[in-house]
Structures are given as C-alpha cells and as structure tokens.
A and B are shown apart, each in its own frame.
Chain A
Amino acid sequence: MRYLPLTDADRSAMLAKIGASSIDDLFVDVPQEARLSGPIEGLPLHASEMAVEKHMRRLSKKNLAAADAPFFLGAGAYRHHVPASVDHIIQRGEFLTAYTPYQPEIAQGTLQMLFEFQSQVARLYGCAVANASMYDGSTACWEAVAMAGRVTRRKRVVLSGALHPHYAEVVRTMAKFTEDEIADALPSLQGAPDNAGLIARIDDDTSCVVVQYPDILGRIPDLAAIAEAAHDKGALLIAVNTEPVALGAIKAPGELGADIVVGEGQAIGVGLQFGGPYLGLFAVRDTKHVRQMPGRLCGETVDAEGKRGFVLTLSTREQHIRREKATSNICTNSGLCALAFSVHMTLLGEEGLRRLAAWNHTLACKAADRLARVPGVRLLNDSFFNEFTLVIDGDAREIVRKLADDGILAGVSLGRLYPAEDALKGGLLVTVTETTTEEDVETLASALQEALA
C-alpha cells in the first residue's frame, strides 16, 4: 500500500522491541467480541492511483461544470476568475500540510498570512478587527447573532426578509436551542428593500437586526438608516455580505454603522466547490467588542530577541481554555481558504478590486437591460451590483430546469430558495461576473424568449 512505509521486517522488529508477539497484543483492550476478524465487508481492497482517479473522473463527468455552460448562478456563491498563482501557493506543502499555528516559532508563515488576512478583511468591511475566519458565511451569521446576545443581553433577533433563506434557516435552527426569539419575514418583490418595514420591527428587546448587503434579491439597502434605528433602540446592526467583490464598488458596512459585519469570502480565491469548503468572514467595527468575538485571532508581538512576530491570541475566549464558558465551540478556522482569499486579494490590490467590481457592475447592467427586453421578463431591482432579480410570467424554477437540460445554467430561481412561496415563483436571480460573455447573455436571452413563448 503506497502510503504505508513500514515493511513486514520493520513490523516484526518493532513488535520485538515492544515485547509483543503479534499486532493483536496491542489491541488487547478492545473486547474480543467487538473486534472485526478481517477486512471490513463491502469495501473493496486497496486500489492504485490510476484506478481511483478513473473512478473519481467518471463521477466528475456526471456534473455540468460552470466553465462548460453559460452560467448565471449566485445566491451566496459566486464564480470569478481565480489567478493560477493562487492555487499554486495554497498547494505548497508548507501551507497545505501545516497544523494550526500553536507553535509560533515554526509557524510564522501561517501566522503572518493570517495577520495580513485579518487586516485585509477589516479594511474591506470598514471595521477595526476581523478574526482569522469561520466555517462559512451562514455559520458566521449565526455566530454574530450569538455574539450580539452576549453584548446586549437580549434575546430577540430581527432578521431582514431579504436575508439569504439558508442563512435565516441556520439562525432559526440554532436559536431553537439557545431560546432566542427570531422575528423573521419573507422578501417581497419590490424594486427597493423595505427598510421602513424592517425598522418598524425593531423594539426595546431587540438584540440585533440582521441585514444582507446586497440582499438576496440583489438590491442594495441603505444600512446607515437601519443602523441609526437599531442604535436608537440599543440593538446592534449585523450586516451580512455574500459577495465581497461588491465591496470594491459599494460602501463598507462598517462605514455605514454596522456593528458586526460577517459574510462569505468564497468569491475571492476559493471557487465554487459545490458549496464547501468556504470562508466565513467575521469583523467588528469597534475594538470594544473584540473580547466577545468567536473564533481564532492572530496578533502581533515580539520574540525573545525583540523581533516582530505573530501569535494566536486572546484565546481565553476559546473552548480549549474556557471549555463550557467559551464564546463559541468553534475549534478551527478556514485556514487554507483564508490563504486563497488573501493571495487573490493581494494580486488584485485596491486598484484591481475596484476595476473588477466596476467591470462586474458594467457587465451586469448591460445584461440586465438585455434580458429585460425579452417579452414577459421584467427587471425588479432599482439598485444592484452584479446580481439582480428578473420577474417572469410563469414558474422560473421550471424554466431553470428546462434550460439546464439544454446546457444553460440560467440562475437561481426563487422557487428553489423558497419552494413554499407561490408569490415568489416568478423570480429568477441572475448573476453576471467577469467570467460571463456577451454571447452567454445572448444565449440566455434567446432561451428565455423561447421558453416563455
């Protein structure tokens, strides 16, 4: 077996050193009746690289890869071009096969990268401090809600109706166990987000208001007005961003008064990967809240010779020190995805991020206008970045399925996200990025026209 270096001669010599007559002597504590007598049933014997690769390739071929189709999906996961050097760097063994940097003297590579990553995220979000990352955007969103509860000592959580429904479902699931009260809502098919309605739901018991920016329909809410209303009631504003490229074009949530900013970092560097692993981003606007944050934090310090170095810090918040009193049970970050994000962001820089964002928005505006000219299709959004909602006469989900059969990945229907809501079934979320060509847009426009005819 190619991954196992011991030879039979090694094994015999080692057993002799141990003073055991056979390997079974080392499993003596496992009750005899529970021990399997031979290789487990069902699973075939070991296989060559060639055989395994062939099997996996066959499974891979049963999927329609985004690169092989006109592709318009978003709704929390975005397809962008990732420079080749990103994947090269994350495959360096010194990053790929390292552990959590608990021994800082021999982990400065990971630690400095995390410090740079935290600094990049803080700036992108307009915040003072970001952590070393969480599992993904949806779990970061829940952790923000839990943190708001610790800060305000209140139990009522107001969710915007235009928060990603899966994020809302994660929050609802966890809240059942923490006995938080969740005030949620559905999105309504309006050109602008219902800020007034959201603000009216904030009361004196509200711990936090959770608002997606841009929201699930692609609209860009005015966070400043919501922040002001939340702060008036002593509540925190949690802003959720699922498309970080947007923040190269629109104001940072922290600038607009959000207290905690969380989101999904996948769009920069990570790739689609059928939903995971992704990259949860988590930041606070004000340093006064740092000690209530969940997750790992990397900080600057000096070594015994006075040289600058980095360590994981403030770990008295974490489970391995505080056990049942920890701020979270999280015991990892999304390290390699954070590296991918950081490398891609370094390649872009502010200039590149702004150009990328401007290009995405320009292409999206053109595509929205083109698609809105298809008879029976209407553009919903007053505002958007690179994702917008089309409202069509009919069941968008059926159309998406039909177009997929023709090799077109047309977008995410609201019916897929809200299967129980008939009022939303005409909605189709369409995302346009730098990877989308004019030809792709024409293909989608013609296919929609044909499907609606």
Chain B
Amino acid sequence: MNAPNKSGWKPEMTAADDGMHNGPRTVTGNRALMLEEPLIFELAGTDTTGVDLPEIELGPNRLGGMERTAAIGLPGLSEPETVRHYTRLSRQNYAIDLGLFPLGSCTMKHNPRLNEKVARMPGFADVHPLQPVSTVRGALEVINELAFWLIDLTGMHGVAMSPKAGAHGELCGILCIRAALEARGDPREVVLVPESAHGTNPATAAFAGYRVENIPANAEGRVDLEALKARLGPDVAAVMITNPNTCGLFERDMKAISDAVHAAGGFVYCDGANFNAIVGKVRPGDLGVDAMHINLHKTFSTPHGGGGPGSGPVVLSEALSPFGPLPFTARTADGVVHLVEEENAAEFDHTRAFGRMTAFHGQMGMFTRALAYILSHGADGLRQVAEDAVLNANYILRSLDDLLHAPFGEGGPCMHEALFGDRGFGEGLSTLDLAKSLIDEGYHPMTMYFPLVVHGAMLIEPTETESKAGLDQFIAALRSVAERARAGDVSMKQAPYYAPRRRLDETLAARKPVLAWSDPDSA
C-alpha cells in the first residue's frame, strides 16, 4: 500500500490487529478511545441545569391561565458533563476534517476556518432581521456583494438570495418559470427531467403543479438531444438539466438544448449542484440557462454541518428576473444598498414578484462564509478550484478504470466526479459491500446507487482540496477493496468491522419506528 506521506512511514498491521475482536471484554463496553455514550435521557434528570439562572418561580403572572404545570421531561446536565457528552458523540462521526469524503454530487471540500470567524463577527451574527435598515447597511451590503459575484460568475441577469437550500432554490426557480408563463397567458403542464436527475428535481416540479416526464439519456450518458427535441411542444413549461450532469459529464449540447427549448416557448432550469466543476471556466448564462440554483454549501464551501443548514440562491435570466421573490437587495446609483420588500417593490420596478419563499432574508450566516470564500480565492483561485477538482477526478478515474467498470470512461474525460459500476464483482457482492469495506480502510464511502442509470453506481468526487499523496492513499485503498470484490471475498458482506457500529438494521427501524425516547420505567 502506498504511504500517505513522502517519508514512506505507515503503520504496520500486526497479528494482534487480526485478533482485535478476540481481546478481553470490557466492563464499560468501551474500547480505549472508542467510547460508548448513553442518551442524555439516560444520563440526566430534570432537576440539574448547566446554566446559572436566578431561582425564580412563576408567581402571579399574565400568562392568561395557560401556565405549564405538568412535567416536561427535559434532561439537564452541568457544563462539563454536556461538553463531554457531545465531544464523545462527535468522535463517532466521520468528517472532512478527518479525511477524504468522496461523496459524488455532494462536494465535500475543506471548510476554511476564516469563514467561520467572519460569520461570527457581531455585526453579522448579532443583528436582527427586522432592525431598521439604517442599522444593517453592512449586512445588506454583504448580500448585495455576494449577489453581484454570483451573477458575475454565472453570466446571468439577476439572483434570488432568499432560498434556504438547494431544493428550496429549485422550487424558487420553477415558481419563477410558472409565474413568467402565467404572466404571458400560457400556462403549461409538463416539466421534462432526465432519468439521471437528483430526486429533488421531479419532486419540485410536481409540487409546483407540473406533470413530470423523463428525458432519455444516450449511450454516452448525456441527454438525448433528438429525443428531447421530439418531445418539446406547447405543453412543455421547462426542462430541468443538471450540468455537469450526475454522471459527471458536461452536457456538450447544452446550448443547442437551450435554443430548442426556447424556440418551443419553454424555459431551461439548470440544477447547479455541480457548478463547482466549471466555476470560472464557463458561465451558464452563456449556455442559455434561465434559472440555476447554487448550493453555497457545495461550490462555495459553507459547512455541511451533518445535514444542513444549506443555502440555495437562484440566478435568473432577464426573462425570469422580474418574477423573483421578495425580499431582495438593490444598490442605487448613490451606492446605497436598499432592502426591497412588498411595500417598496414598485419603487424598484419589481411588481411581478411571485411572492415570498421564507420569513426573512435568507441564510445570512452562509452568505458571509461564501463571500469570504469567493474573495479568498479570487478570479484566479476559483478557476483553479474547477481545474484541480476536474484533474483530481480524472486522476481517480484513470487510476481505477482497469479494475472498476467505468461505463462512460471510454468516451473521454469526466468532470469533477468519476462514475463506476459494479460489473465484474464476485457472486453475491455489491456496491454496498465495497462501500462498507472502504469504511474499514478509514474512508467515508462514495455516493452509491446514484445515478440510477448505472447498475450499482459508485460516484466519486474527491474535490480540489485533496493532496496528491492523499489521493494516492485513497486510490490504494479503493483498489484493494475493488480487488477483493472481484475476487468474491465474502467477508466484505459483514463490513465494516472496525467502525463504532456494524451494519445497522434499517428494515427494523422502518418497520417498528422508534422516533423519540420513552422512559422504559413508564412504559
């Protein structure tokens, strides 16, 4: 196996490691630094608090006779116990800070800590969304400045900043399209979505009241342009395309697709989940896109946080911009940035907004981080981000395609992610077994069984923040598990062996859902 560093040092696996599970049983259930941790409900009663508060009790009050008298059942811990509880839990998580996190389409790149620092500046973290605008000019400037760079980087006309995550941004874009079509008295019924699309695309289109139809892919993993053209017509409101697509390929015909959709009176929605592959290299606006959400937590590296919060601004073409939601910011010639809401929309010539996506102004805490990321990288750095992300993915593709089936590998380079299938695996072994075996090698698995168009799909996105030495070690690990899968090593079916938990029974979880703690003594 390759060493993870230039010196060549690596730990030796010894006979003792093979017998790891035959060691003595411990009273605690712990295994040295692998620490078991009870639930807070098992650790704590309801009479302890870790916050110093005056011992006030509700006396005569003005609660309208609604005092809560029954027990609530919320456990409390002192500060040291609390810190220890969550620290122990944290150690059962894999994270980018620990190692390469190759989830295709998810873009798990390093989260710069400067961005955490700026998001916590009191002028951003400790301001209320309804303060008089005279007291939040800087916050509005952040939103406006980020909006400006997002428009610049995508070559679009406008941007809606308020959507709270990627799928929320998709919804915003599709609602703009529906509003634009209704405004011209031409409501349409169908949205076309490629089979390889993220599940959010059809779910979003269905929510917005459209019927969803699939667009077929051609043999090289791209949208079948001729089939698409044949389906276009006066009933098609929009086509939702992911570019680069979920097979990790650039849609070469994007401009022709856009032209055909526009000629048929429809709009082009681009899922921007993979914008990180092309940022600074090509602008979606130049390819005829009408709306595209940008996952700030992907391309611009705001932390994923174990499942959110995300942020999903939507860039819009000139045709769709007038329908974007409120509120938004606008800079006037005097340099002042204004907050545009329902009451002053007319002053800013924005009377056709389709409505409001959320209570306030969007994910300010993510805007500050994304802006710091963009300014840190600059025009040259962002271009390098895309180039290195694509280089790293192709390096993985070509370091593995002799062992793992790369369904579209013959067709040329990939973009930021390399796609493999499970062809050639030994009897009974699956992508899941390979993924769980990769856990034992110290890696988070890749995206599995997505896109649906490839059997046993494995979608690997290394991102640009990995070193060559780190990639080499990952490739060595992946080659090892791929060889075992091809050789029919059935021990993989029990992997992982070394994680805090072995395979979890997901069927049981769904069949008999236990979704909240209940006190066994009171059951």
Contact = CB atoms under 8 A, between A and B. Distances in A.
A313 B444 contact: no
B75 interface: yes
B321 interface: no
B137 A62 contact: yes
B219 interface: no
Contacts of A297: 513, 515
Given A43-B378, A63-B136, A107-B94, A166 B359 contact: yes
**How many A residues are at the interface, by size bracket?**
35 or more
A122 B72 CA distance: 10
Given A116-B40, A139-B168, A365-B61, A65 B126 contact: yes
A389 to B, nearest CB: 13
Interface in B58-74: 58, 61-68, 70-74
Contacts of B166: 331-332
A135 B439 contact: no
A298 B515 contact: yes
A316 B477 CA distance: 33
B438 to A, nearest CB: 10
18 contacts: A27-B390, A29-B249, A34-B255, A67-B126, A73-B130, A93-B97, A98-B94, A98-B304, A118-B516, A119-B516, A136-B358, A139-B357, A173-B357, A250-B67, A320-B200, A326-B206, A350-B47, A382-B62
A346 B50 contact: yes
A294 B121 CA distance: 34
B272 interface: no
Contacts of A31: 252, 255
A434 B94 contact: no
A319 B201 CA distance: 9
B111 A313 contact: no
Interface string A61-77: 11111111001010111
A106 interface: yes
B168 A307 contact: no
B468 A420 contact: no
Interface in A79-125: 79, 83, 85, 87-101, 103-110, 112-116, 118-120, 122-124
Interface stretch (A150-158, A176-184, A444-452): A176-184
A380 B39 CA distance: 44
B27 interface: no
Given A302-B508, A349-B48, A350-B75, A313 B513 contact: yes
Interface string B85-105: 111011111111110010100
Contact of B358 (A68, A138, A252, A401): A138
Contact of A385 (B49, B63, B202): B63
B459 to A, nearest CB: 13
Interface string B290-310: 000000000000011111111
B50 A83 contact: yes
A434 B128 contact: no
B196 interface: no
A309 B89 CA distance: 12
Interface string B363-377: 111101001101111
A42 B94 contact: no
A280 B125 CA distance: 18
A44 B167 CA distance: 31
Nearest to B390: A26
A182 to B, nearest CB: 12
A408 B49 CA distance: 33
A105 B517 contact: no
Interface string B384-406: 11011011101101110000000
B108 interface: yes
Contact of A329 (B57, B203, B388): B203
Interface string A285-297: 0010010000011
A68 B122 contact: yes
4 cross-chain pairs, A with B, having the tightest CB-CB distances, nearest first: A349-B76, A275-B360, A173-B355, A62-B138
Contacts of A122: 516
A401 B464 contact: no
Contact of A276 (B79, B360, B470): B360
Contacts of A404: 131-132, 134-135
A204 interface: no
Contacts of A34: 255, 282-283, 286-287
Nearest to B337: A62
A18 B395 contact: yes
A14 B468 contact: yes
B127 A313 contact: no
Contact of B501 (A120, A275, A309, A359): A309
B509 A119 contact: no
A109 B91 contact: yes
Given A40-B383, A92-B87, A113-B89, A103 B439 contact: yes
B333 interface: no
Interface stretch (A227-235, A333-341, A370-378): A333-341
Nearest to B165: A332
A77 B128 contact: yes
A400 B375 CA distance: 35
Contact of B63 (A18, A83, A309, A383): A383
B359 A136 contact: yes
Given A73-B130, A94-B93, 15 more contacts: A18-B395, A39-B382, A43-B153, A65-B122, A73-B128, A105-B503, A106-B94, A109-B93, A255-B70, A276-B164, A311-B509, A346-B82, A347-B77, A349-B48, A349-B74
A176 B356 CA distance: 11
A116 B72 contact: no
B309 A409 contact: no
User: Which of B91, B249, B509 has the most chain A CB atoms inside 10 A of its CB?
Assistant: B509
Interface stretch (B170-178, B231-239, B420-428, B478-486): B170-178
B54 interface: yes
A59 interface: yes
A304 interface: yes
Contact of A110 (B175, B206, B307, B376): B307
B63 A250 contact: yes
B158 interface: no
Given A62-B138, A96-B303, A346 B362 contact: no
A99 B103 CA distance: 9
Given A119-B517, A178-B207, A105 B356 contact: no
A170 B372 contact: no
A158 to B, nearest CB: 19
A276 B76 contact: no
Interface in A21-38: 23, 25-31, 34-36, 38
A3 B377 contact: yes
A382 to B, nearest CB: 7
